[in-house]
Amino acid sequence: MARIEVPMPQMGESIAEGTVSKWLKQVGDPVEKDEPILEISTDKVDAEIPAPESGTLVEVRIQEGETVEIGTVMAYIDTEAGAAITSGVAEADAPADIADDSDGGSDGQANQTVSQSSLSATAEVQVRTRSTPVVRRIAEEHGISIADVSGTGYAGRVTKQDMLDFIENGATEATTAATGQPARTTPAFSGSSSDLWAAFYGEVQHPEFPVRKGDHVEPMDKIRRLTAEHMVLAKRVASHVHSFIEIDFSRVDHIRAAHKGQWAEQGVRVSYTAFVVWACSRLLRGYPAINGTVSGNHIIHRGSVNLGIAVDLDPGLIVPVIHDTDELSLMGIGKKIIDLAGRARSRKLIPVEIQGATFSITNPGVLGTLVGMPIIPLGTAAILGTGAIEKRPVVVEDPLTGTDAIAIRKRAHFSLAYDHRLVDGADAARFLAELKALLEDFPEDA
């Protein structure tokens, strides 16, 4: 029997677990490679999970409604035709049949007992070493072999807490002495999930407060809990600094009015946000630090420009990502924003559409906020906050006479939050100044 695993996939950078919503295939059913076999749900996305290979679904380990960590094995597929079907929980992956060349005497029984014992030990190690990505990264960072750790998880698997307990009890020093290799004490940032950050920098502990008469207490739902953890960790890791600028949208208004009919004929509405996204995507190539991130003692300069656009789910928040944004036209970006925002609110995004952002934009101004000071998402170096675009009296210079006058213009305050470990204030100021110039003199053919 050639069995392969079907694990709970990584569905987003801040998602640490998922729930099996529905099995589309049952034990014994044949499956084709890339054919959906189950549906899973997280706090941000719902998705169908395809079969990694063709074969027969021979075991289901996680039932509908169960929530498990990323990397947990949910099922097994036998890639060989005519394989036996496993209806329950299988024993550790040991072979079902053991060849016996003896004549049935006591020596043969002894040899079989030894062989079974050896296989059982091997299978136990295999189960322990097949762990979640979080566990494997902790082991790698601290120079620990997962096989040396006693597992308390399902079927003896090693959990994150097992690893942390093992480290706390002095295993790192023991491993260092045995291997001669120093254990790493500073984790390399992978940006995979808030759960990984918590493993290295400590679990997020929210202080508790007394409940008073008349208060109503309810547990955080999953999306609020994960958002809270992500925000606390993001503030803990990055050195936040904010810079502000005011931008005139008169030119953008002119272009929107001139092309509104043409865009409507093609079924597209190009919002103010689309103009901002287009302008940022054209500038970020020239600001690799703002489009990069700090990783341990290294700097990663991203090879693409992928803009995350925050979408209000009321309640909750999700950040769909427009990949290779700098390759899209203004109208193309407008289409993308409408499509992603609509599918975000109906929970129809696929995993890749919420991963890989190199820079983010959040728009509290759409609800009337004058300006905001956003938190930098983990794994990036900056985020732009756009304030309300509204008519204001401003001083302008008459181009003919050179005299000053009071005029009414549509303007907005923008804030740039940036990680001061990587981005200097001067670079942030230059970026905002170029963004202002580009939006105030927006090209007609964008």
DSSP letter at 170?
Answer: I
For residue 384, what are the β-bridge partners? Answer: 361, 416
The CA distances from residue 109 to 98, 104, 106, in Å, are 12, 7, 5
253 is catalytic: no
DSSP 168: I
Pairing outcome for strands 359-362 and 307-309: parallel
Environment class of 252 (CB within 10 Å of its CB; exposed 0-12, middle 13-18, buried 19+): buried
Alpha carbon distance 128, 158 (integer Å): 5
Angle at 359 between CA 356 and CA 365, to 5 degrees: 125
165, 424, 441, 445: the active-site residue:
424
Q: Could you confirm whether 420 is annotated as catalytic? A: yes
What whole-number distance in Å separates Cα of residue 394 and Cα of residue 410? 10
Alpha helices (H) in 41-151, listed in sequence order: 106-129, 133-142
Determine which one of 420, 427, 441, 445 is catalytic.
Answer: 420
Which residues make Cβ contacts (< 8 Å) with residue 416, sequence separation at least 6?
A: 242, 243, 244, 245, 382, 383, 384, 385, 428, 431, 432
Catalytic machinery residues = 420, 424
